[in-house]
A and B are shown apart, each in its own frame.
Chain A
């Protein structure tokens, strides 16, 4: 039981002198310390047409330059390109807390004249990460499972339109059951305040109309302080966030701020009256853990149960192979399902027995 705790654990048994104080109230701190040591992994996917300021926004959010050698291809060069998936990883450390951030970019999305199939690559990528995690989770050595699953997807909406475009709707509906979707209105300095409010309302209406499930911020717990509750309320009311990104320092009102300099004024990135950048950052940071949880508990579990339902056996590598190609619809016979499941279980048990035997053989060779 460590006594050197700066943070006050909540609950009745705070005082060691109190009779009945056991000390497990300290557990959150231990978890906290272990997590800090282990570091966090977070994968953020950004999707949106070219020129919506995605890269600038990511760089602004994390105060870094994720794309140092970037070359923007011309229109003629873009003709034969399909959607690419580019993942950049950066390690950020702040006050001893390490974050391994992976940003998955999707250049080419929505750029072609015919964008009919432009997001199948993206969906395959998300599924692949789930597949890989499933494989690792079912595998032998689970000590160092790397979590590359996409925890959050920022979907960039153009501020120029009158709402969602057909492609926006189609894409969000295709991924809302696989990843947490956070819609973001890009380049918000194109809009006056009134236009922004109108656009937000329009987007929310269309999201509801089409049954798109975006990420919902969890309500603040009743035991949180008023400030946090208020902050959560404000955040929830501002979705979708209308943001402006920039890493240029501009002189405004005697101090240096990050912003964009126009002949008619300076847009300050971190000014809440100018745009929702700070709100987006707050939301991402304070809910990073929740985003991971929802990915694990909801999206991943959905994927996993779908995969397992489709039937199959564990290959020697731990992959779950489908029994029959693609067919999909379940057999009507419940008994048959039961039998299949039992057979599967038996096979899995055999595999595990085999693997355990192997492990014992390898015994003293140590961990890989």
Chain B
């Protein structure tokens, strides 16, 4: 970390200049300013969304933090509840916002239950757009756009449900959707593989592209890395915030009468893979795709629809309105 490369010895350079220290400068800057990351979780009640998010970030960051009452009533309509926390690791600060969507898919009549979610996502784009279009812009536009939407699939072992298809079809063009199979300890390994294959086939046949989308692979290296990931998705995950002793190690898991399901054991479930993918390798890419693709799509549509968006003067007047 931070070792200046001594004597790169390229044929064109006559000596060491220090261009490569830019990376270090950027790193230091980023560490100072910190990151923002906004993750949304969607799925009907009881699929372990809040537990999974807490497990992913090893902190109580979800709407249901430590000590929540498990006897919450299902809300009558879909609510959008967002909770922000600043977490720090290795000197890097991240402002993590978890957007939960209680009530999704829980009613008897779930027609259009995706609309509040779609609306929320577009509202965040709109907020960003308004800031960008301002005459005097803030130095750093606060980014509340949803960078990633984890969609929880119920582990029925059969196929996707109609609601799953509808949601993903409608939202895959506004947000990065990462489908996961929730509570995967319901299925044996065989059942899991069959289910995954069926789900992937159904998604392909309906033209639903989940993240990482094939069309945004930058180069061959990206493509091959992402292909491997796409072959494994949707990740079959298990979440837990309880620790147990297994082979002299403390592990996160679920204790049953027939054994302990270890959350981070790749032989048991794919949580570790999801975490590595989401946080350790593709976090930045998720933000970039959101900014360069989804946001730009929204912006282009807005500009076209209204014959151009007019910049807001400092006294707050604004021309067109949708």
Contacts and interface: CB of A to CB of B under 8 A. Distances in A.
A192 B242 CA distance: 12
Nearest to A250: B188
Contact of B108 (A79, A166, A265): A166
A198 B70 CA distance: 10
B320 interface: no
A115 B107 CA distance: 9
A273 interface: yes
Contact-residue size bin, chain B (C-beta under 8 Å from the other chain): 35 or more
Contact of A261 (B182, B188, B265): B188
A274 B258 contact: yes
25 contacts: A52-B156, A72-B159, A73-B159, A75-B202, A76-B206, A79-B162, A112-B162, A113-B110, A113-B162, A114-B108, A114-B109, A115-B108, A159-B186, A160-B46, A160-B155, A160-B182, A166-B107, A187-B186, A189-B256, A190-B186, A262-B185, A262-B261, A264-B260, A267-B256, A267-B258
A166 B162 contact: no
Interface in A149-165: 158-163, 165
A263 B156 CA distance: 19
B259 A264 contact: yes
Contact of B157 (A51, A74, A115): A51
A162 B267 contact: no
B255 interface: yes
A267 B256 CA distance: 9
Interface stretch (B134-142, B163-171, B209-217, B308-316): B163-171
Interface of A: 49-53, 72-76, 78-79, 111-116, 158-163, 165-167, 170, 187, 189-193, 198, 202, 260-268, 273-274
B237 to A, nearest CB: 13
Interface string B246-263: 000000001111111110
Contacts of B88: none
Contacts of B111: 113-114
A49 B161 CA distance: 10
A73 B162 CA distance: 12
Interface in B175-227: 182-183, 185-186, 188-189, 198, 202, 205-206
B260 A75 contact: no
Given A113-B111, A113-B163, A265-B258, 16 more contacts: A53-B157, A74-B159, A74-B160, A75-B162, A76-B165, A76-B205, A79-B162, A159-B186, A165-B106, A167-B108, A189-B256, A190-B155, A190-B185, A261-B188, A264-B260, A264-B268
